[in-house]
Amino acid sequence: MAKGNIGVTSDNIFPVIKKFLYSDHEIFLRELISNAVDATQKLKTLSSVGEVKGDLGDTRVRVTINKEKKTLTVSDHGIGMTAEEVDKFINQIAFSGAEEFVNKYKDRTEAIIGHFGLGFYSAFMVSKKVEIFSLSYQEDAKAVHWSCEGNPEYTMEETIKAERGTDVVLHIDDEFSQYLEDATIEGLLKKYCKFLPVEIAFGKKKEWKDGKEVELDEENIINDINPAWTRKPADLKDEDYDKFYHELYPMQMDEPLFHIHLNVDYPFNLTGILYFPKIKSNLDVHRNKIQLYCNQVYVTDEVENIVPEYLTLLHGVIDSPDIPLNVSRSYLQSDNNVKKISGYITKKVADKLAEMFKNDRENFVSKWDDIKMFIQFGMLTDEKFYEKAKDFALLKNLNGDYFTLEEYKDKVRENQVDKDGNMVILYTQDADANYTYIERAKAKGYDVLLQDGELDVHCMSQAEQKNEKLRFVRVDSDTIENLIKKEETAKDTYSDEQKEGLRKAFEGLLPSDADKLRYYVTCEAAAADALPVFLTQNEFMRRMKEMAAHQQGMSFYGQMPDQYNLVVNTNHPLIQELVGKETSEEVQEEVEKDGKKETVVKTVYSLANEDERIKQLIDIALLASGQLKGEALAKFVNRSVELL
């Protein structure tokens, strides 16, 4: 029996393994199975080039639990190792440079895992003793038994092993007894090994028979060795893609909308399938995530630094051996391969959408509402994506017709350009709430868009920045005459003093809740058939408030009270009647003129005895905008009855 010290100068490596890797200890299983799969694939390669003769026989990797002995074993029939190889690969190589590294990165667990392919040694995270039994494929090889108890000493001796390959036996630490439970191990295998290229067997298949679960003779195979993304797109039908989607997300009920098969081998290697899910609300967004694989081994579903953020809304798989897996997150973003990969995926996704839009617009339109949030998110956060997406991003009007922005500009060019040459696009976020305003816009021959998506406000602001002389305004943000000012609108004949009297009369009777809600009264000569009094809401302020809800650093706007203009329509007969009832009074007022005080005579108008009528008019305006509620509504109803 040979005894020796593992080739690392520090005695501290085992405590480090246990301590620093504690949070991620379950990866030991992935590491051991990856080694077993590698060894099996190497054997297949050698066989294919004639270096290994004859039938390879059984090549399944098996995971077994022995509850009595408290062991977990990973067995393969791969190339195996000779004693020299165990010495080289296990005793020395794995720890080369470990001490230096550990000292340098003590605080960075994730970096430690990667550096020296901690692979095999991760077994010590959960074991008090690890044994290797291995028989190399090489002719006349002698089997070797290696054993180590979690300190830098190991033993190595010749042994008898009937079959080619390697068994790694883990004597599980008492504190990790969960790894002796079938359910835990099966769960981990399903997580990490579901799509490995060599069959992984764990126990026997089970079946429900007469209300009991019975074991069959057949082995329970964990994985699909030819997952869809590794196959050629030409060999796959839509059903195959859908089936794979559900393999990937067994709990997902909805079908994906469509998919993109990724396949590139230069300048980096990447395969995968991305699915566009139906995103119903923000809540759905992060339930299922894109899974990252490296040669069919599951790595993570945190791909935030590998694909642009908006693409994390997609589902599916990315498999690339060229993504550095064990570096810090911040390093990832600056890695050149990762940048190229991210750029490639962006381009593929944009091209696929452009192609769908071009070749089958009807289908694209039918899916628009479901993919809109994703595309808008992309346009807002990725300039390159914006450049492509602006040609297929759609706007929907109240008739349910869809347009690209360019198409829509053509549609409204004739009628919706104001006297200063600005194109004004009208929209509503709620067609019911804005009903009267929409009717007035339609009467003028204007078109109205429905912009009720969560990101619409942001996208409108973006479109305004990118398109000169283009403005979006909500139909209720001003009088229809002011929304799209054509020529100087007709003026009323009242003096400013008369209007001031009117304004004050209304102002005095407005509901007040200054912290949350503020009304400003303005007198305007709107159309005679418009309402006598109505509310508008300034586009800019409202939009800033809406954007503040989604964006950090805008809380200033978020905290402002809601503001409305109460427009008193001086062209309306009812208002004209009120003006007619104003009484005037001459008052003397002191003003400063050229530094000297002067007394001037002013006419002040006021309205008396009209409070009931004014209240009624205010309430009508509030009611028309859905703002009359509770007690105020009841009072309005009673007052209306009395007036009748």
Residues that bind ligand ADP (CB under 6 A): 31, 35-36, 39, 76, 78-81, 89-90, 94, 117, 119-120, 166
Provide the minimum distance between the beta carbon of 241 and ligand ADP in the complex, in angstroms, as a whole number.
32
26 vs 456 by CB, closer to ligand ADP? 26
Provide the minimum distance between the beta carbon of 78 and ligand ADP in the complex, in angstroms, as a whole number.
5
Provide the minimum distance between the beta carbon of 86 and ligand ADP in the complex, in angstroms, as a whole number.
8
81 vs 262 by CB, closer to ligand ADP? 81
73 vs 538 by CB, closer to ligand ADP? 73
Q: Which residue has the tokens 């062991």?
A: 71
Rounded (to 5) percent helix, strand, coil in the chain: 40, 25, 35
DSSP character string of 110-172? HHHHHHTT-GGGGGGGTEEEEEEEEE-SSTT--EEEEEE-SSSEEEEEEE--SSSEEEEEEEE
164 vs 259 by CB, closer to ligand ADP? 164
Q: DSSP class of residue 234?
A: G
Provide the minimum distance between the beta carbon of 336 and ligand ADP in the complex, in angstroms, as a whole number.
23
Provide the minimum distance between the beta carbon of 555 and ligand ADP in the complex, in angstroms, as a whole number.
49
Provide the minimum distance between the beta carbon of 317 and ligand ADP in the complex, in angstroms, as a whole number.
22
Provide the minimum distance between the beta carbon of 329 and ligand ADP in the complex, in angstroms, as a whole number.
21
Provide the minimum distance between the beta carbon of 471 and ligand ADP in the complex, in angstroms, as a whole number.
59
Provide the minimum distance between the beta carbon of 52 and ligand ADP in the complex, in angstroms, as a whole number.
14
What is the C-alpha separation between 99 and 7, in angstroms, rounded?
A: 10
91 vs 271 by CB, closer to ligand ADP? 91
Provide the minimum distance between the beta carbon of 294 and ligand ADP in the complex, in angstroms, as a whole number.
11
Residue 158 neighbours by CB distance under 10 Å: 12
Crossing angle of helices 611-624/630-643, nearest 10°? 130
Cross-sheet strand order for the sheet of 61-66: 2-5, 153-159, 143-148, 127-135, 165-172, 71-76, 61-66, 200-209, 212-221
Q: Tell me the two tokens of residue 471.
A: 């403005």
- Which residues make beta-bridge pairs with 565? 520, 536
Q: DSSP class of residue 281?
A: S
CB nearest ligand ADP: which residue? 119
155 vs 482 by CB, closer to ligand ADP? 155
39 vs 201 by CB, closer to ligand ADP? 39
158 vs 585 by CB, closer to ligand ADP? 158
Provide the minimum distance between the beta carbon of 186 and ligand ADP in the complex, in angstroms, as a whole number.
21
39 vs 65 by CB, closer to ligand ADP? 39
Q: Which bin fits 565, alpha (ψ -120 to 50), beta or left (φ > 0)?
A: beta
Contact present, 91 and 3 (Cβ < 8 Å): no
Provide the minimum distance between the beta carbon of 451 and ligand ADP in the complex, in angstroms, as a whole number.
53
Contact present, 579 and 494 (Cβ < 8 Å): yes
What is the C-alpha separation between 509 and 519, in angstroms, rounded?
A: 11
Contact present, 534 and 578 (Cβ < 8 Å): no
Contact present, 637 and 547 (Cβ < 8 Å): no
Contact present, 277 and 257 (Cβ < 8 Å): yes
SS3 93: helix
122 vs 429 by CB, closer to ligand ADP? 122
Distances 371 to 182, 242, 288, 386, 604 between C-alpha atoms, Å: 41, 18, 16, 15, 59
Provide the minimum distance between the beta carbon of 459 and ligand ADP in the complex, in angstroms, as a whole number.
47
319 vs 382 by CB, closer to ligand ADP? 319
Contact present, 18 and 112 (Cβ < 8 Å): no
Q: DSSP class of residue 235?
A: G
Q: Which residue has the tokens 């010495």?
A: 87
152 vs 316 by CB, closer to ligand ADP? 152
Q: Nearest-5° angle of CA 433, CA 434, CA 438?
A: 150
Residues in the chain: 644
3-class SS string, 41-76:
HHHHHHHHCCCCCCCCCCCCEEEEEECCCCEEEEEE
Q: Tell me the two tokens of residue 626.
A: 């859905």
Provide the minimum distance between the beta carbon of 136 and ligand ADP in the complex, in angstroms, as a whole number.
8
The residue among 21, 5, 195, 213 whose CA lies nearest residue 105 is 21
Helix (H) or strand (E) holding 621: helix 611-624
119 vs 501 by CB, closer to ligand ADP? 119
143 vs 523 by CB, closer to ligand ADP? 143
Write the CB contacts of 103 (distance below 8 Å, at least 6 apart in sequence).
none
Provide the minimum distance between the beta carbon of 27 and ligand ADP in the complex, in angstroms, as a whole number.
11
59 vs 252 by CB, closer to ligand ADP? 59
